[in-house]
Amino acid sequence: MKKLLTIGFLALSMSSGVAFAAVQTIKAEINGMVCAFCAQGIEKKMRSLSQTKDVYVDLKNKVVAVELKDGEELSQDTVRDLIKDAGYDVNKIETVASTAQEIKDSMRTEE
């Protein structure tokens, strides 16, 4: 019975155009970003990628979050390379299931 309900729900959601895609954001903690101009340069570079839906750069916490468009893929290595090419070091990089806005909001609550 569960299988039948699940199949029916999936068929209904697919026919109605509802998509269930997980949010995918690449979040990097970086060193070397010391001014607003630095942050603006990284943000501009990340926004120029075709896969990018949104970008959040936090100068104080030295965090860069690149939210991907639905169905798009971008490797952590690509983001790491772009940050390194801009002259910064990547301490940690991970893919998270949060939007750039959610990351921004969480940084504000930590202040």
pTM to 2 decimal places: 0.77
Whole-number pLDDT of residue 111: 61
The CA dihedral of 97, 101, 104, 105, to the nearest 10 degrees, is -100
Q: Is residue 71 part of a domain?
A: yes
Q: Which pair of tokens denotes residue 24?
A: 């995918």
**Does residue 69 fall inside a structural domain?**
yes
φ, ψ of residue 94 to 5 degrees: the values are: -155, 160
pLDDT at 107: 86
User: How confident is the model at residue 21, as a pLDDT?
Assistant: 57
- Domain annotation covers residue 17: no
Domain that holds residue 103: 22-110
Tell me what the mean pLDDT of segment 56-67 comes to: 96
DSSP classification of residue 49:
S
Task: Give the number of domains in the chain.
Answer: 1
Considering the domain boundaries, does residue 12 fall inside one? no
d(CA 38, CA 29): 14
* 15 — pLDDT class (breaks 50, 70, 90): very low
Q: The domain spanning residue 26 has which CATH number?
A: 3.30.70.100
